[in-house]
Amino acid sequence: MKKRHLLLAMLTSALFMGAAHAWPDKPVTLVVPFPPGGATDLIARTLAPKLQEKLGGSFITDNKAGATGTIGAGFVARAPADGHTLLVSSLGPYVIAPHLLAKVPYDALKDFDYISIAVQAPNVLVVPANSPHKSMADVIAFLKANPNKMTFASSGNGSSDHLTAELFWLQTGTTGIHVPYKGGGPVMTDLLGSQVDSSFMNINTAMPQILAGKLRPLSITSAKRSPLLPNVPSLEELGIKEANVYSWQAIAAPKGLPADIKAKLHAAIVAGLNDPQIKTKLLDLGFEIVANTPEQFTAYQAAEFARWKKLIETRNIKAD
C-alpha cells in the first residue's frame, strides 16, 4: 500500500512539473489598461513578439481601458496566477490611482507579483518656442513675483505631468495654475498654440516638437541630464531637491505566480529589452532600460506608493 501511495505521489509530482515546464500551454495575454497608441501599449507590443520568440506559445496584447487604468489592473488581479494573464502598465494603476479614487478593484500592495520595470522616462518642462521664459530661473522668478498666474497643462488630474508640477511647486515654494486635459493630445495642441504656458511633459511625447523647434525645454526631472537633451539641466542640478520624477512601464502578474514561471518570464523580458534592435529603438524614443529584478521592482513599487500617497494627501489632489 505504501509503495502504491509513493508511486502515485511521484506520478502526481511528475505531472505537475510537466505542466509547469510546458508553460505557456495556451495564449498569454498582456493586458494594457489604456487605449492603443500610448507609451504603455508600445512597450507591450514591442515585448510580445520577443517573449513569444524566447518562451514559445503565443503572446497577445489586449487593451482594457477605463477608470485611469484600474479596470484592466483589476481584471489581471482577479485572473488565475498561472502565467497566462499579465499586466503591462505605467505607474498610475500601481502607485497613483489607489490614492486618487475612492475605490479600486485590487490592492496594489498585495494582489500582484511584481516581475520587472521594463523602462522609465523622465518628464521635461517645456514652453512654447515664443515663450518669454528662456530658463528655469525665469520660470521660478515669474512664479514668485506672480503667484497663480502661469498655467501648467497636464493630461489629467493625478497624471504624472500633474503630480510633477505639484511636486515642483511644493519644492520651490511657488504656485501655478493646473490645467487638466483629457489626454496628452489636447495638451500638445494648446501648448503649441500658446493657449497654455507650460507642461511637465513626458520626454517621449515632447521630443518631436522640441526637435522641430516648436517647444523649448527648460529642465528635466531625471537625476542626471538626458543624452537626448544634453544641454537641458535637471531640476536636481538646479538645486531643486526631491523632485526627480520618472514615468515607468512595468510587468506584473496575479499574486501567486509559480516561481519557475516567474523566473522564465523575467529572464525573457530582460533579454527582450536588451535585444540590440529593441534597445536602440527604445533609447531613441527617450526610454531608459530598467529591466530590474522582481525584488527590486517590489521594493520600488512600495516606495513609490508611499511617495505619491504623501504628495496627494499633502496637496489635497482629487481625481476630478
Residue 216: helix, strand or coil by DSSP?
A: strand
* More confident position, 7 or 133: 133
Q: Tell me what pLDDT residue 278 has.
A: 96
pLDDT in tens, 272-313: 999 999 999 999 989 999 999 999 999 999 999 999 999 999
pLDDT single digits (tens) 159-217: 999 999 999 999 999 999 999 998 888 999 999 999 999 999 999 999 999 999 999 99
Task: Give me the pLDDT at residue 184, please.
Answer: 85
CA distance readout (Å), 216 to 93, 125, 211 = 31, 8, 9
11 pLDDT higher than 80:
no
24 preceded by a cis bond (ω within 30 of 0): yes
Looking at the predicted structure, is the pLDDT value of residue 16 above 60? Answer: no
Q: Which residue stretches of the chain are H helix?
A: 2-21, 39-55, 70-78, 91, 97-100, 136-145, 160-172, 184-192, 203-211, 259-273, 276-284, 294-314
- The mean predicted confidence, pLDDT, of the chain is 93
Q: Is the pLDDT of residue 232 over 60?
A: yes
Give the span between the Cα atoms of 113 and 295, in whole angstroms: 10
| Cell of residue 268, nine digits | 525573457
pLDDT of residue 5: 52
Query: For residue 57, what pLDDT band results from cuts at 50, 70 and 90?
Result: very high
Say if CB 249 and CB 119 are below 8 A apart: yes
Q: Does the pLDDT at position 75 exceed 70?
A: yes
Model pLDDT, residue 4: 56
Asked whether the predicted pLDDT for residue 135 surpasses 60, the reply is: yes
Strands 215-220 and 59-63, sheet pairing: unpaired
- Please state whether beta strands 215-220 and 112-128 pair in parallel, antiparallel, or not at all (unpaired): antiparallel
Mind listing the domains of the chain with CATH numbers?
Answer: 27-120+247-314 (3.40.190.150), 122-220 (3.40.190.10)
- The pLDDT score that the predictor gives to residue 17 is 45
Q: Residues 190, 174: contact at Cβ < 8 Å?
A: no
Residue 9 confidence (pLDDT) above 80: no
pLDDT of 14 above 50: no
- What pLDDT shows up at residue 106? 98
Amino acid of residue 306: A
pLDDT at 38: 87
Per-residue model confidence (pLDDT) at position 50 = 97
Q: Which residue has the cell 518562451?
A: 55
DSSP letters for 79-121: S-SSSSEEEEEEHIIIIIHHHHSS--SS-TTTSEEEEEEEEEE
